[in-house]
Structure 1
Amino acid sequence: MAGGRNTASAAAGRGPVTISFAGYNRAWAAWIASRLERHGVQVSMQRWDVVPGASIEEGLRDLLLSDGQVLVVLSEWYFRLGPRDPDEWNSALREVVPPNSDRFAAVCVTAAALPSAAASLGAADLWGLGAVEAERRVLTRLGITPPRASSSDTLSSSRNPRYPLEQPSVWGGVPRRNTRFTGREELLYGLHQQLTGAEPGAGVATLHGLSGVGKTHIATEYVYRFGPEYDVVWWVRASERGTLREKLAGLAPALGLVTGREYGERLRAVRDALRRGDPYPRWLVVLDGADQPEEIHDLVPTGPGHVLITSQNREWGEHNSALIEVPVYDRDESVAFVRRRAPRMDYADADKLAEALGDLALALDQNAGALNDSNMPVDEYIELLRRGADVESGLKVAADFQMTYFTAFSILLNRLREDKPEAVDLLRLCVFFAPGPIPIRLLRDLPIRDVPEQLAGLMDDPLLWNSAISKLAQWSVIQSDPPENDTDESAGSTEVIQMHRLVYQAVRADMPQEEQSLYSRVVRKLLAAADPGRPNDTRLWPRYAEIVPHLEASRALESTNPDIQLTVLNCLRYLNLSGEYRAAQRIAATAAEHWPRLLEPSHPRLWDLAHHQANSMRATGDYTTTEAIDRRAYEQLSTDRGEGDLLALRAGGGLAADLRALGRYGEALALSGQVRDGYAELVGAQDSRTLVAQNNIGLTHRLLGHYADAMRIDQETMEALRDLLRDRHNWTLSSENSFAHDLRLLGRYKDATSVQERNAEIHRTVLGADNPQTLRAEHNLALCYQRGGDRPQAAELLARLLERCDRVLGDSEPLSIRVAATLSTFEREHGDLDRARELGEFVLAHYRRQFGDGHPYTAGVLANHGLLLRAAGERQQSHIEVEDALGTMTRAVGENHPWTLGCALNVAAARNFSGDPESAVELSRVTADKAAAALGKEHPLTLSSRIALATDLRNLRKRQEGDKIEEEALEALSRTLGAQHPHTVAARSRSRPYWDFEPFSS
């Protein structure tokens, strides 16, 4: 034994060893760790888990952060995590292992082929060996001289893990290991911790969840992964009491117990032996499919070992078992599993299949198997699934579960129908809501008189209702989340229930057509009853958020009921106000397929629907389509009902908005004036509809460059809305944002910033940080900071704002494009020129596609791009672009528009730089005079034009005139903006002024 002690001492001096292993090979890692610790080596075990998207190379380098050597347990499972391409593995191994060969060692525990670069690890092959030889090879690979073998050395302690190729002393009934088992790592290790950390006699855990979620496969994997820690592993099908008694009694001879012939006597002997832990204290009994705890709980063994139960029934929690819920797969797990089951499917196809099947393991297995054996295109098959087509006959069932998931759900429904028919009635009601959370409040709001007879008792009796909910939750058919402590009465109760989408399909398939019609009609009435009727009230938006997901599933979009149609219209109004434009478009488009055949051609609700549909499309920039919709509506309504009709006026307001977006500002102004006057005559000057129309007139004046007129109108509108509504109403806030915008455009930067800081803060509080109206307010605030000279504030806000716009709206929505244009000009001047160019070219390409080259927005961002090219040193192309921008802008909005004058300011600089000072002076002088006439002598654009003129005059050696003009302009800049404002500082240092185009909200 002295040799053994010397070896231990030498090993201890070598430093620690970190064992890196795939979870599938934990048994090997645990056995190797016990062998090394026996020889005095300090060991830590680290499960290898490189998630999709993470770098394999970084994962390997992270292993080197530990002290001492890294021993990698190699098998095909080590390389499957991800899953990853072998080339990626080979590249990472070649990059990391050879330079660190003294740190890496490996053992191989498989006969399967591994990536070729794994050879760099120099693995010792353990596959197929006995325990003694395997231990010797592990020690040799780590440079530890194995001791001479003795009988005491080769015997394993009763507390040490068993050699993985040796089964426990007693082993029975365990299913074959699933070689496609995927994921569930945290759940498996949590289960192991739960069992091993339990007090003696309390080691009972239940895996519970929906049928087909994978409970049995997880239990099987647990047995193979942790089985070497047990001396006895006994697997029992536990669906019936008689079967359970017989199978448990069958353990008696395996334990060597001497009993009589009756299995009742053998059962008592087995339970007593397990309780005493004699002859084996380390035992594991698995009760698979134990769905009736009230019938079999008294048969659950007790003692020092562990009991693992799989069940759909969470009532095991009432029988001293720890409950571990098995959810559906994470999406990454689903994709990895599908690609192992059906190798012909790529990542995208596997992801679509997982989405269609709600990540349910059994459904994934059977459908992926069917797809792998078929030549049908994946998209075509998934479309069949989404339509609820009958694919059951083609499903690929496994040997250990020889029924489809359809059959499994039918059995479950039959069991519920026999046990608690009211629970099935509740399920049938739920399946006409959309998959996902269903607020309990929606289910309970309908007056009893509107409920069919078979549901009246359920909905009128709270005890019966709660009993049905509990039964469904007990069998894992639904998840019931208790209400949170929520003091917001507008949101109502937050208690929700939800079920898997495949349960929806099973329940619907089980219902006759007449019952489907009955239950869907009840759900539609429930949704209408839940409609608070005020979609403009932001406090009620949580209620609309509860209703909207269920409109399509309940067939509300096909209803002829006026109350339900009104709810649909209110939901569309809410969606447009809250910024959910795509959802509004989808719902409006579906309703537009049905309503024309349900209503008379001139019915007002058809015009209401067209109005909301156009609003959602306009918000996403589809102006050509909305102009056609609104023009048709305006012309037909004006003809049929007269231009002064409220519906005609509303259509006229929509058409004016389209014209503004398309750059036809003069037409828009004339039509907006007619709309405002028409509302004033019909409903009064102080009605909210009149004031909104007046707000649109101010907006049009702003687009026309009439900033002073716009500010006067917007201030009047803002004050009237404050009186009529309230300071925090979203229309009032929008009007205040317009007023601050006008102040900024007039050069009153401090005043604008003061107003807009408060406005943006209230927007965030009232509408939420990600509402598009809030994002518009913050964009205005960022520009206030930028124009006012607070560049750090502007930089921070703009960067965050673009990310939020892209996330909430998408990178091609009108607001996202405007923010990108602003950030591009800011980065050009103060940050990253490459980033500025990337953004600027993206914006320019977008406007060219959307509007063509003749639109003022295209001309404006072309001018910005010209400045980018000048900053990049491409002066010739820059000159061409700013000249083109000036010509286009002049044609689009006229020669006196501030946008045209800004383009002219940039062109004068380009002419000066290109050696044409005479033309530059002429243009600068004309620009300065026109700016003074249009904006005032002390407007920033006027003063910038004067500074540019002074520069051009000096270039013509007219220094005296130039110096005089410059001195006057500098004095005015200091007086209006302040001596330290960036414009003033730049002018004092004789930096050439420029003008950035800013697209407006139309």
Structure 2
Amino acid sequence: MTNYASAAVPGWAAQAWVIWPVFAVLVAVSIGLLLWGRHLDAAARPPARVAPVSRLARGRQASLRPPHVQRVRGREGELAVLAGMLRRPQGRFAVLCAVGGMGKTTVAAQLAAQAEAMGWRVFWVRWRDGAELAQQMVQAALACGLPEAELEAARAGQASLPDVVWRQLGRVRRWLLVVDNADEPYEIGPAGEPVADYRGWIRPHGRGLLVVTSRDGSEQTWGPCARLLPLEPLPVRPAGQVLLDTAPAAGTAEQARELAARLGGLPLALHAAGTYLAGPTSRYRTFAAYRQALDQELRFLLGAAHPNASHPQVARAVVRHTWEVSLDQLAGEGNALARPLLRLLALLAQAPVPLSLITPDLLSVVTGHDVTAMALEGAFAGLHRYGLLGLPHSPGSTGPASGSSEGAQVVLHPLIREINAVALTAETSELAVWHRALAERLTTAVHEASRRGRAGWPAAVLLAPHLPLLLEYGDPRTATHHRTALDALAQVLQKAGAFGAARLLDERVLDVATRMLGPEHPDTLTSRNNLGNALFGLGEPAEALRLLRQTLEDRARVLGPVHPDTLTSRNDLACALDGTGEHAEAVGLLRQTLNDRTRVLGPEHPHTLASRDSLGLALDGMGEHAQAVRMHRRTLEDRTRVLGPEHHLTLLSRHNLAGALTRAGERTEAIQLLRQVLNDHARILGDAHPHTLAGRDSLGLALDGMGDHAQAARMHRQTLEDRTRILGPEHPDTLASRHNLALALTSAGEQAEAIQLLRRTLDDRVRILGDEHTHTLSTRNALETALAMSTHQPQSRWWHWLRRRNDAAGGD
């Protein structure tokens, strides 16, 4: 220490034992003064610490207590996310959003119970109106130590009340604030303050966690600091456990899961059903009985109107009314079209609905008012915002307008659909008007899809589940017209390779035609023939052959042996026989059909060309490869001239010619054709179309025959994966791909995997096709070859002979 006045050091300062005690005394005095200052400040203002909620929970304050809930099932993922945010909010708040009845309040209450158990202070604010929300938010802030002076300043207009409340919530930790049922965010306020601006009552700025439950799931509503947690229906297992928790004596766990699946995993419906089953005077006391009764009595069991439904809290807890609350809110926003739109969607099947099906004109007919495209778009957007419809092919979208309008579609939860259909029946006396308008629109949509050709295939697939409604909603005077529309769409679906959807339509049309027209009416026979073709495409050859033979016999007897419909039946039966390995019988039928069609229809009629193409395939199957090549070349030239080079039948002829060339040993030309046709099929029909998969399979066979076994194996493996996914693991084409992959692996020296694949394929073909079927015998021979090759050295003559035998066997 230096004395700047004298430039001399005092004598006492040179002694260390004096310096350190003096320094310690100065520090102690400073700390004492600091603590005394804080004590004086505390006397003027209460400390900012959390006060016990129990002290505030008297009288009106009791509303801050969270509701009690039992164990929550199936929401572990959402609760884990919320628990993480509770520990570290990081400037965000959570929004539990979903359609009414999904259990948002239950999940929030479970989180509240967990927070209380951890020592957090929990405040539960149930939204009713802006004034009550403000009062309850102030109560929460007071419980967190908000000074009365700051509150009075806000009341006097000297500060913003939300600012004062949230300033206090930013001073303390370890609190959870739940704003429940905030379904009208624009009303939360204060007036004129959008929620996403974070200047009102909803803010991410506190040091605890804010959780909001709402039917509004729009990111635009809640802003960038909101973590949206949309709730989906419960999976079957936890949904079944909810029923068992509520009605433990109503049946087994499996029966509970079956009922839970029927209720679509909707928590509100699960609790309603469980409560009903547990009632001592209920008519139905078991899960099985209740599930069976729903088909006939849903409007009584879940769709009954409640006498106090005008009260919002009652309406939210009743399945019949909970979604009407959202529709009322949309109407209050000026979106009155949302209700009739939802009612109209409820009349369609439980399947995705293409947006292109619902037009302003359709809504105008059923509502009796002019509807604009903008109003319709707004109604879709409103229903989506409140969770009343979903967008299956647009995950993460913020509205129905997102993505391409070509394939855009919406879906309804099964119970939302059923309850809205019940509501429509109850509120209108002109249901027939709705049905007729919808039937006319469906018919028009079918014609639109048919006219568009290949471009209309995606729309046809989406329309298919809804088309059977034509047979229910249409006027009996238009029944024939509607059956024709269904037949037309089924044909489009078969061309698109959607055999499953085609089968459903064909079965329905055949049933109705048989009942209304009789089993031997020409239209009934057409429906039966169409169903046979669809079954064959689905890989059910036995039933397909039975129907096709029966139809051929009936048409020949009723219409005559050379009627165009009879010739169609004979051609289709022959194709099915050829596809199952009965080449000789197929050749006989096809020669006869080709001659008759040439004489009756002409040599270049598309049906005549189809018969010639099919005859070439059958001859190829019999080993007449050279004759098959000549026939396919001629058919390809004629189809190119008559139909065009990119018509799907022209592409099919090119593929069939390449296959015949491969089996005739002309693999170089075959591979060139197959690469070209594979590219064209993928570009025109799509990667997943059966013709594209067939082209890739044929290219793999040709490459294998040329000795490029590794590339062939890769191609067959990809085809096998795609066919398994698209057609199913036991479809004949899938079995052929597995067989052909095994052949390529055998040739490549990978006998172990090949043997495994061939054994599995042999078991499946014996079970599905029979022990003596041509394809079964081919697989058995291939397995014997692979087993023999696996036991001999590659250098031996025996091994090389087996390689030649395997190559000569070829693929299916």
TM-score (norm 1): 0.63
The residue aligned with 1:655 is: 573
Matched pairs, number: 717
1:455 aligns with 2:367: yes
1:468 aligns with 2:379: yes
Counterpart pick for 2:168 among 273, 277, 291: 277
1:500 aligns with 2:413: yes
Q: Deviations 1:696-719 (Å, cap 9, x if unpaired)?
A: 111111122211111110111112
Counterpart pick for 1:525 among 425, 440, 455: 440
Distance 1:196 1:465 in 2: 42
Aligned-partner SS, 2:592: helix
Distance apart, 1:340 and its partner CA? 6.2
Distance 1:440 1:294 in 2: 28
The residue aligned with 2:319 is: 405
The residue aligned with 1:705 is: 623
The residue aligned with 2:15 is: none
Opposite residue 710 of structure 1, the aligned amino acid is A
Counterpart pick for 1:423 among 338, 353, 368: 338
CA contact (8 A) 2:590 2:615 kept: yes
TM-aligned CA distance change 1:384 to 1:792, over 3 Å: farther
The residue aligned with 2:264 is: 358
Distance apart, 1:498 and its partner CA? 3.4
Distance 1:611 1:641 in 2: 14
CA contact (8 A) 2:242 2:270 kept: no
TM-aligned CA distance change 1:639 to 1:585, over 3 Å: same
Distance 2:789 2:692 in 1: 33
Q: Out of 678-687 and 797-806, give the one that drifted further.
A: 678-687
CA contact (8 A) 1:338 1:368 kept: no
For 1:838-917, list aligned pairs within 5 A.
838-871=756-789
Distance apart, 1:475 and its partner CA? 3.2
TM-aligned CA distance change 1:799 to 1:552, over 3 Å: same
Aligned-partner SS, 2:369: helix
Aligned-partner SS, 2:669: helix
Opposite residue 358 of structure 1, the aligned amino acid is G
Opposite residue 711 of structure 1, the aligned amino acid is V
Distance 1:482 1:269 in 2: 38
TM-aligned CA distance change 1:278 to 1:435, over 3 Å: closer
Q: Out of 246-255 and 791-800, give the one that drifted further.
A: 246-255
Counterpart pick for 2:201 among 297, 301, 320: 301
Percent sequence identity is 21
Counterpart pick for 2:489 among 571, 580, 591: 571
Aligned-partner SS, 1:176: coil
Distance 2:584 2:219 in 1: 74
Distance apart, 1:816 and its partner CA? 0.9
TM-aligned CA distance change 1:653 to 1:864, over 3 Å: same
Aligned-partner SS, 1:389: helix
Distance apart, 1:650 and its partner CA? 0.8
Counterpart pick for 1:783 among 698, 701, 719: 701
Opposite residue 685 of structure 2, the aligned amino acid is L
Distance apart, 1:407 and its partner CA? 3.9
Distance apart, 1:820 and its partner CA? 1.9
TM-aligned CA distance change 1:255 to 1:998, over 3 Å: same
CA contact (8 A) 1:215 1:326 kept: no
The residue aligned with 1:132 is: none
The residue aligned with 1:637 is: 555
CA contact (8 A) 2:587 2:615 kept: yes
Counterpart pick for 1:342 among 235, 241, 244: 244
Distance 2:228 2:215 in 1: 10
Distance 1:989 1:314 in 2: 68
TM-aligned CA distance change 1:277 to 1:603, over 3 Å: same
Q: Out of 586-595 and 221-230, give the one that drifted further.
A: 221-230
CA contact (8 A) 1:259 1:265 kept: no
Q: Deviations 1:217-259 (Å, cap 9, x if unpaired)?
A: 3333444556799975321211344644554465577456669
Aligned-partner SS, 2:68: coil
TM-aligned CA distance change 1:672 to 1:786, over 3 Å: same
TM-aligned CA distance change 1:329 to 1:370, over 3 Å: farther
The residue aligned with 2:423 is: 510
The residue aligned with 2:395 is: none
Distance apart, 1:832 and its partner CA? 4.5
Opposite residue 201 of structure 2, the aligned amino acid is P
Opposite residue 681 of structure 2, the aligned amino acid is H
Distance apart, 1:470 and its partner CA? 4.1
CA contact (8 A) 2:586 2:618 kept: yes
TM-aligned CA distance change 1:383 to 1:867, over 3 Å: farther
For 1:732-747, list aligned pairs within 5 A.
732-747=650-665
Distance 2:678 2:797 in 1: 30
Q: Out of 797-806 and 690-699, give the one that drifted further.
A: 797-806
Distance 1:558 1:609 in 2: 19
1:772 aligns with 2:690: yes
Q: Out of 538-547 and 687-696, give the one that drifted further.
A: 538-547
The residue aligned with 1:216 is: 105
Counterpart pick for 2:676 among 748, 752, 758: 758
TM-aligned CA distance change 1:999 to 1:596, over 3 Å: farther
Structure 1: state its 5+ residue gaps.
Answer: 1-157, 487-491, 876-981
Distance apart, 1:548 and its partner CA? 1.6
Distance apart, 1:817 and its partner CA? 1.4
Aligned-partner SS, 2:213: strand
TM-aligned CA distance change 1:387 to 1:684, over 3 Å: farther
CA contact (8 A) 1:191 1:324 kept: no
Aligned-partner SS, 1:234: strand
Distance apart, 1:785 and its partner CA? 1.0
Opposite residue 417 of structure 2, the aligned amino acid is Y
Distance apart, 1:774 and its partner CA? 1.4
Distance 2:86 2:444 in 1: 47
Q: Deviations 1:869-890 (Å, cap 9, x if unpaired)?
A: 43466x9xxxxxxxxxxxxxxx
Aligned-partner SS, 1:310: strand
Distance apart, 1:772 and its partner CA? 1.5
Aligned-partner SS, 1:694: helix
Distance 2:767 2:318 in 1: 51
1:538 aligns with 2:430: no
1:183 aligns with 2:183: no
Structure 2: state its 5+ residue gaps.
Answer: 1-46, 58-63, 192-199, 305-312, 392-398
The residue aligned with 2:465 is: 549
1:286 aligns with 2:178: yes
CA contact (8 A) 2:72 2:106 kept: no
Aligned-partner SS, 2:337: helix
1:994 aligns with 2:808: no
Distance 2:189 2:507 in 1: 55
Q: Deviations 1:38-86 (Å, cap 9, x if unpaired)?
A: xxxxxxxxxxxxxxxxxxxxxxxxxxxxxxxxxxxxxxxxxxxxxxxxx
Distance 1:847 1:493 in 2: 41
Superposition CA RMSD, Å: 4.5
Distance 1:735 1:347 in 2: 55
TM-aligned CA distance change 1:387 to 1:834, over 3 Å: farther
CA contact (8 A) 1:595 1:606 kept: yes
Q: Out of 361-370 and 207-216, give the one that drifted further.
A: 361-370
1:237 aligns with 2:140: no
For 1:91-130, list aligned pairs within 5 A.
none
TM-score (norm 2): 0.76
Q: Deviations 1:890-941 (Å, cap 9, x if unpaired)?
A: xxxxxxxxxxxxxxxxxxxxxxxxxxxxxxxxxxxxxxxxxxxxxxxxxxxx
Counterpart pick for 1:821 among 719, 725, 739: 739
TM-aligned CA distance change 1:309 to 1:485, over 3 Å: closer
Distance 2:796 2:679 in 1: 31
CA contact (8 A) 2:138 2:165 kept: no
Distance 1:313 1:711 in 2: 65
TM-aligned CA distance change 1:467 to 1:583, over 3 Å: closer
TM-aligned CA distance change 1:824 to 1:599, over 3 Å: same
- Of structures 1 and 2, the one scoring higher in RCO (CA 8 A, sep 6+) is 2
